[in-house]
């Protein structure tokens, strides 16, 4: 389908076709220009005559007889950009007016409720929530409008340069478009004000008090996801409906994100990198973190220690704060620990707190010297945090504009210089920009309750998030920026969506065979964990494994709305390159029960709002254990049958021989079934097809057959005994 038709099919009814890019008009101008063969300009002439007629063709007519020139296309393009920009800014102004009105309604309703001494009425709260939801839907609709036009301009410019290679203009106009307000504008203030509205209606300030959970034991679960750029605003809205933004104060007001820098320390052999990559028990990561733009003033020295859950220990993160001038002392083990400890006690800190602080500082300063740690890699991002004050049940962070910068190759001046000067020019191989946002969900599960809140589950299954098992910004940065120093690389570097960014940073040698022509090594084993697929398996770069839930999520349909199929034309949209439906899976025992058809499973996959199935490497081991258990039972049955058959032949018992032969057939069925289920489930795990991976029918069928045989044998023996007594 042509993009012009796709654009028309996705026109918002509230907007109409007028404000959208007129793709067909620009396309027609390109077609006319491509059919013309104008005489080429004289590239050597440096002078012109204003009285000389224009160049003519073979008939003696002006070369551009139809009047369509390159100038016509460029003027039309400028007009379309101005039209889209004007409409976008007008809608943003209208959205701000709506938010202002809703904020006024909340203040009025709250004041009335306080004057009456009553809480905010339920009907008033629902009415205000509806207003906030309408504002959010308008904003997401506007963002979709911007995205579809943005993509349209990219495609029409690419088409222009393809058909008119003598007059390329894509690079110039793309850079110009990125400088316009409708593309570069930061409208995060709308998100901040929406967060205030939802927080006021939830009354988050009354939800918890400091120290409410100080004495409760809990288990913290952390999961990391990749989020496509076009889905960031929708994910933010899905979270802020339940958690308030952790706002940052700036000179221009409040913003929903904070500039975050983290400098990671390692030695020449990248010992800490390989420890974190291999998930060695006790492996540590050390970093120096500061917040805000400009030179750091306060620096957090942080240590993360990895422990596997099966060992009974949990991974921990510890940190202490120092002044920027003291970083040199920490890195050289000259930090005045005793003086700082006395100052802490003088300020009222307890003896226990001082002891724990001292132990942490001594361990970090000593390891910096003993392992000869130096600045190795820096991560930069804009971090948006969500959390109810004094309530750590659910914490969410979203990192956008994520990039990694190499901290190698400059003079440290005996650790006095520990990060690059912002004024230094970075070479292409010294920085890599991550193409996705990174979402981190931290759940505090208390009292044996291992079930996360429903809204978290709905978000995880919305099709907007793509889990990347054990993803690490530091590990990714080192593997891409220091390809000559690393002995092994993480599995996710083979994800097809990262290929361009890795190649742009000069790290192509770490990619798989089909990408860079070098050995892929063990990474092929973990291809099932890649969020967007890998080239070697010929997967699309548009999120393999996504079901129709992804399309629903792009319309804001999450959870119950997705199940009900709300929204116009949900299944009638044309499938473009960004709309990829996952493969429908075969039911495990379709060979045994033909009524379980592929079409039924496909329909179920279309309706169910499931995302890519969560996979961990231990799932493969569980599948192998299940296979061995089934084989074990099959071998036991075959051994029993062989014994019965041997004794029956000696005694001449006919029924015993028949019974033994039937048991042999059943034992063979157990083994065949075990092999079939093992291969089927392995394929399901590798492809991460959403749906059930268990087989509730096969075991029941085999168990029923075995029970019938045993019952018949028991009845036969009872009959023989009764005959002997008679």
**Co-location of 309 and 220 in the same domain:** yes
Are the C-beta atoms of 437 and 229 separated by less than 8 Å? yes
- Of the pLDDT bands very low, low, confident and very high (cuts 50, 70, 90), residue 477 is very high
Strands (E), 252-297: 253-255, 258-266, 284-291
pLDDT at 213 over 60: no
**Co-location of 578 and 636 in the same domain:** no
Furthest-apart CA atoms within the chain: distance in Å: 132
633 or 116: whose pLDDT is higher?
633
pLDDT at 293 over 80: yes
Residue 248 confidence (pLDDT): 63
643 or 590: whose pLDDT is higher?
643
- Most confident of the ranges 217-231, 338-352, 592-606: 338-352
In a domain, residue 346? The reply is no
CA distance 538 to 42: 47
CA distance 200 to 202: 5
Residue 463 confidence (pLDDT): 86
In a domain, residue 450? The reply is yes
What does the DSSP 8-state code read for residue 246?
-
**Co-location of 559 and 652 in the same domain:** no
Residue 252 confidence (pLDDT): 55
**Co-location of 596 and 658 in the same domain:** no
In the predicted model, what is the mean pLDDT of residues 689-700? 76
CATH code (residue 292): 3.20.100.30
**Co-location of 150 and 106 in the same domain:** yes
CA distance 55 to 111: 77
CA distance 526 to 656: 50
Structure-block tokens of residue 644: 């019965």
pLDDT at 618 over 50: yes
Are the C-beta atoms of 613 and 689 separated by less than 8 Å? yes
pLDDT at 216 over 50: no
Are the C-beta atoms of 408 and 424 separated by less than 8 Å? no
Digit-coded pLDDT (tens) for 123-154:
888 888 899 999 999 999 999 999 999 999 99
In a domain, residue 359? The reply is no
**Co-location of 638 and 602 in the same domain:** no
Digit-coded pLDDT (tens) for 354-398:
999 999 999 999 999 999 999 999 999 999 999 887 777 889 999
**pLDDT, the chain, mean:** 79
In a domain, residue 543? The reply is no
Are the C-beta atoms of 1 and 155 separated by less than 8 Å? no
Digit-coded pLDDT (tens) for 35-50:
875 555 666 777 777 7
Question: Which range marks the domain in which residue 628 is found?
Answer: 618-725
Structure-block tokens of residue 237: 């809205």
**Co-location of 98 and 171 in the same domain:** yes
**Co-location of 463 and 567 in the same domain:** no
In a domain, residue 153? The reply is yes
In a domain, residue 588? The reply is yes
pTM: 0.72
Structure-block tokens of residue 316: 């921990």
Structural domain count, the chain:
4
- Of the pLDDT bands very low, low, confident and very high (cuts 50, 70, 90), residue 545 is very low
Counting Cα atoms < 13 Å in the Cβ hemisphere of 393 gives 19
**Co-location of 158 and 219 in the same domain:** no
pLDDT at 114 over 70: yes
pLDDT at 116 over 60: yes
- Most confident of the ranges 11-15, 49-53, 300-304, 707-711: 300-304
Structure-block tokens of residue 665: 């057939």
In a domain, residue 501? The reply is no
pLDDT at 338 over 50: yes
**Co-location of 165 and 200 in the same domain:** no
Are the C-beta atoms of 367 and 405 separated by less than 8 Å? no
Digit-coded pLDDT (tens) for 392-439:
788 999 999 999 999 998 899 988 999 998 888 899 999 999 999 999
| CA nearest to 234, candidates 506, 551, 606 | 551
Cα angle 179, 184, 189 (rounded to 5 degrees) comes to 150
In a domain, residue 667? The reply is yes
Residue 317 confidence (pLDDT): 85
**Co-location of 197 and 158 in the same domain:** no
Structure-block tokens of residue 139: 């904003």
**Co-location of 439 and 327 in the same domain:** yes
Residue 48 confidence (pLDDT): 75
């Amino acid at each position: 389908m042509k993009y012009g038709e796709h654009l028309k099919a996705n026109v918002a009814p509230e907007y109409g076709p007028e404000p959208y890019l007129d793709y067909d008009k620009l396309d027609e101008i390109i077609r006319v220009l491509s059919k013309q063969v104008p005489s080429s300009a004289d590239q050597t002439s440096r002078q012109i005559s204003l009285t000389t007629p224009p160049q003519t063709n073979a008939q003696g007519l002006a070369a551009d007889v139809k009047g369509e020139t390159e100038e016509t296309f460029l003027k039309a393009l400028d007009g379309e950009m101005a039209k889209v920009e004007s409409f976008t800014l007008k809608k943003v102004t209208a959205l701000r007016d709506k938010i202002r009105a809703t904020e006024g309604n909340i203040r009025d309703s709250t004041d009335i409720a306080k004057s009456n001494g009553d809480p905010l009425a339920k009907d008033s709260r629902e009415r205000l929530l509806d207003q906030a939801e309408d504002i959010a839907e308008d904003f997401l609709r506007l963002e979709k409008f911007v995205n579809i036009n943005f993509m349209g301009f990219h495609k029409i410019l690419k088409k222009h340069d393809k058909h008119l290679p003598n007059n390329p203009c894509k690079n110039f106009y793309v850079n110009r478009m990125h400088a316009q307000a409708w593309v570069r504008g930061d409208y995060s203030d709308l998100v901040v004000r929406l967060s205030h509205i939802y927080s006021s209606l939830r009354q988050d300030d009354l939800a918890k008090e400091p120290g409410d959970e100080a004495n409760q034991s809990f288990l913290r679960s952390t999961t990391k996801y990749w989020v496509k750029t076009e889905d960031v605003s929708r994910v933010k809205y899905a979270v802020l409906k339940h958690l308030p933004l952790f706002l940052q104060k700036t000179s221009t007001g409040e913003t929903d994100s904070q500039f975050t820098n983290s400098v990671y320390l390692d030695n020449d052999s990248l010992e800490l990198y390989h420890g974190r990559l291999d998930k060695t028990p006790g492996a540590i990561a050390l970093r120096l973190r500061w917040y805000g733009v400009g030179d750091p003033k306060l620096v957090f020295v942080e240590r993360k220690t990895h422990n596997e859950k099966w060992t009974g220990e949990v991974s921990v993160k510890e940190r202490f704060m120092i002044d920027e001038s003291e970083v040199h002392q920490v890195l050289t083990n000259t930090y005045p620990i005793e003086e700082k400890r006395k100052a802490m006690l003088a300020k009222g800190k307890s003896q226990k707190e001082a002891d724990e602080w001292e132990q942490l500082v001594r361990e970090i300063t000593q390891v910096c010297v003993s392992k000869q740690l130096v600045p190795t890699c820096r991560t930069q991002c804009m971090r948006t945090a969500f959390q109810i004050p004094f309530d750590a049940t659910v914490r969410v962070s979203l990192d956008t504009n994520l990039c990694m910068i190499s901290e190698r190759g400059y003079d440290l001046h005996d650790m006095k210089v520990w990060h690059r000067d912002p004024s230094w020019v970075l070479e292409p191989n010294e920085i890599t920009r991550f193409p996705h946002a990174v979402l981190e969900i931290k759940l505090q599960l208390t009292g044996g309750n291992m079930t996360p809140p429903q809204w978290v589950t709905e978000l995880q299954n919305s099709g907007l998030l793509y889990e990347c098992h054990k993803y690490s910004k530091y590990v990714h940065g080192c593997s891409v920026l220091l390809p000559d120093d690393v002995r092994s690389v993480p599995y996710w570097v083979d994800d097809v969506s990262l290929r361009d960014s890795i190649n742009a940073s000069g790290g192509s040698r770490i990619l798989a065979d089909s990408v860079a022509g070098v050995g892929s090594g063990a990474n092929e084993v973990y291809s099932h964990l890649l969020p967007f697929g890998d080239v070697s398996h010929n997967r699309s770069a548009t999120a393999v494994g996504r079901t129709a839930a992804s399309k629903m999520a792009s319309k804001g349909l999450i959870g119950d709305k997705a199940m009900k199929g709300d929204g116009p034309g949900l299944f009638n949209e044309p499938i473009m390159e960004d709309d990829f439906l996952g493969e429908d899976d075969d039911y495990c025992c379709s060979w045994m029960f033909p009524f379980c058809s592929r079409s039924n499973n496909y329909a179920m996959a279309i309706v169910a709002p499931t995302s890519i199935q969560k996979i961990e490497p231990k799932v493969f081991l569980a599948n192998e254990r299940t296979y061995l258990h089934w084989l074990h039972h099959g071998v036991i049955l075959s051994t029993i049958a062989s014994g019965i058959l041997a004794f029956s032949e000696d005694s001449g018992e006919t029924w015993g021989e028949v019974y033994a032969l039937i048991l042999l057939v059943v034992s063979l069925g157990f083994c065949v079934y075990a092999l079939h289920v093992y291969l089927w489930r392995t394929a399901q795990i590798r492809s991460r097809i959403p749906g059930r991976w268990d087989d509730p029918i096969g075991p029941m069928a085999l168990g029923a057959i075995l029970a019938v045989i045993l019952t018949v044998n028991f009845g036969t023996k009872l009959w023989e005994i009764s005959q002997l007594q008679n």
